[in-house]
Amino acid sequence: MGLVKKGNKLWFFEELYTDMTYGFEVSKVIVPETDTGFQKLMILESDRLGRVLILDGIVQLTEEDEGIYHEWIAHWPLFALPRPAEHVLVIGGGDGGVAREVLRHPTIKKVTMVEIDRMVVDLCREHMPSISAGIFDDPRFELIVGDGAEVIRRLKGQCDAVIIDSTDPVGPAKSLFNTSFYESAKDALKEDGITIHQTGALILQPFEAPGSWRQMERTFDDVRVVQFANVSYMGGPFSLTAGSKGKRVFKDAVSNARKNYKKAGIKTHWYSPEISAVPYPEFQRRLEVDKYGEEIIMDIDLPGRKRPKGKQVAKWSRETCKAIRMVAYGSPVVSSPALDEGDTLVQYIETSAISYRRFGATACANVFTCASLPVDEAVDFSLDFFGAGSTVCWHIPRGSFAGLKDIRRASRIYKTQLKTSEAHRIDVISQIYRPKLVESAAAFAPGFRLPQERGVSAACELIMDIYDCDYPRISNCDTVARWANVEFPKASGLVPVGVPDAPDFGHAKKKTAGPSVIQLLEQGSNISHYSMNWLMILVNVVSREPFPLKKAVESAMRTFRGKSAVCWLVPRGLKSQNIAEIAENTVMFRVEMP
C-alpha cells in the first residue's frame, strides 16, 4: 500500500504481508521513494515514531525504538562471548545502528561494516544522524561498500563475532540466507566466536527462523534463537538466530553475559542480561522437531480380485481422513473416474495427501502427513474398508534430519492383518525388515534396474526428500508447477497428463506452509509438497514405465537447488508377498550435489 491519503492526512501502510498490514500517520516525507539500484528507499517522519527508514515498502527502523533491535543484536552476542571481542564484522546495517552499539565496547579494536547499498549509508547519515552517532569518524570503523557474501570469504579466522543486519531473504539480502553463506560466516570466526542473524517475526514469518535454524545447525557447533519484541516490527515476537564456533559458548552465555556486562560498564536502555531472550516453548518445540512427517504405504491384497470403483475409493480417502484425525482439502484429483488398472486418485489433506491406485488385485495406498500419523488406525481402517485380509506396509519417516543409517532404522517393512476381535486392530504377521542401503553411484549405474524391470512388481515408487532448497523457487507455485509439468517429464521421459494442480496451502500449519503439486502421468503420478519453513521438498513419483533414475532425481535437485536428498525406491503392485524379497528390492540411498 505504501503512502495513502486518508482525508487530509498522509498515512504509510507496510507492504511486507499480502493479507495484513499496519500503518502510521506521516507528518513529513523526508526522502520520497528513491530507487537506489538495489531497492526502493524512503525516509518518513512520524510524530509518534520519529524518522522512519523504509526499504521496499517495509519498515527497517524508527528513531523511537531502533535501540531495542540494535542493542539486542549487538550486545547479546558480544557479552555472551567467553572473551572480550576485538574485531566484529557487520554485514548490512547501512544505517549505522549496529556498529554504533558494537563500538561502545571498550575492547573493540576494529569494526568492519559491509553494506551493498551506498545510498542507504549516505541518506541515513544525512537524514538520520542520531542512528550512526558519529561512527564514521571513529578510527576503529571501516566501511566496505560491496556484497557481504563475497567479503566474508576474505576474513577467515579474523572475527570474534559476525553480525548480519540484513533485510529479509529477497533482493540484495538473498545471498545471506543459505548454507554456503553460513559456512563462510563460521570460517570467518575465531574459536568460540558467534554469528548472529535477524530472522524475522516468529509468528508472521514462520519460515525464516526455522529455515535459518535448519541451515545453521548443520554448519555451526551450536545454535540458539533469541526472542524479543519491537514496536515497529509487526507480529509480536521477533527473532535473531545465532550460531557458535565451539560447543560450550552458549552453555556459558548467561553467566558470561552477566559478568561481562558488569565489567564493561556500558549503560543500555533496552538490553539487559537479566532479561530472558529464550523463545516461547512452542517456538522452541517447532525449531527442534527433527522430522517433517511420516508416511504409511500399503499394498493391500484385495479379496477375490475385487476391484473398487471410483466412488468407493473417493469415500475411502474421505473416511481415511477421519480415521487419522485430519481434514480433507478440496475434492479428490483423479486420472479417471473409473479408476481402472494403474489410475490414480489423490486427496489433499490439511498437512499433505492421501493417494490410491490399483494394479491387478493389489490396491496401492499412501497416507502421508506432517503431523503425528496414527499408523495402525490408517492400516486398520483401510483393511476393513476394502474387506482385505492383509497388506504389506512400508512405514517411513519423511524429511528427517537424522543420519542416513538412523533414517533407515526408522524405515520399517512388514506385513499385517486385521485381528478377529470386534475392535479389529492389526497384527504384524511378519518379521520387521529395513530397506536395502546402497550408494547413489550404484543406484545411478547404467545396469541398475527398477523393481518392475526385475519382475518384482507392476510399478515402482520413487520417494525423494530434498534438503536445503532455494526458498524463492520452492515458494513459487508457477515454478513448482512448471517443474512437474515440463522439466521433470523431460528429464524422466514420463509423459504428463493434463495440467498440474498446484495450490498453495497449509499456512495455518507453520511446518507445511508452501505449495503442493499433483501432476498425473501416463501410468503414474508425481505428487510433491514444498515446505517453505524447512526449505525442503518431498516427492512421490509412481510409474509403471521404467525411467532413468539419475536424471529424475537430479532434475528435482537442480531445479530447486537442493543440496542433498534421501531417496527410497519402493516396488508397488507386488508380484509376491515374500517380505524378505520385498525388503531386498526396496532400495534406499543418499544423493549429495556438488
As beta bridge partners, residue 486 has none
174 phi and psi, to 5 degrees? -55, -35
Question: What SS3 class is residue 44?
Answer: strand
The set of cell numbers assigned to 198 is 535477524
The set of cell numbers assigned to 341 is 488398472
Question: What SS3 class is residue 491?
Answer: helix
Contacts of 200 (CB under 8 A, 6+ apart): 168, 208, 209, 238, 239
Which among 165, 380, 468, 470 is annotated as catalytic?
165
Q: What spatial distance separates the first Cα and last Cα of the chain, rounded to whole Å? A: 42
Q: Which helix (H) or strand (E) holds 284?
A: helix 281-288
11 and 4 Cβ atoms separated by less than 8 Å: yes
C-alpha–C-alpha distance, residues 523 and 212, integer Å = 39
Residues in the chain: 594
C-alpha–C-alpha distance, residues 299 and 168, integer Å = 45
Q: Which helix (H) or strand (E) holds 254?
A: helix 253-264
C-alpha–C-alpha distance, residues 329 and 335, integer Å = 18
DSSP tag of 499: P
* CA distances, 460 to each of 251, 363, 541, 559 (Å): 48, 14, 8, 23
Beta-carbon count within 10 A of 594 CB? 3
C-alpha–C-alpha distance, residues 468 and 537, integer Å = 9
456 and 583 Cβ atoms separated by less than 8 Å: no
In the annotation, is 165 catalytic?
yes
How many CA atoms lie less than 13 Å away from 187 in the CB half-sphere? 14
- Block residue for cell numbers 545502528: 97
Catalytic positions are 165
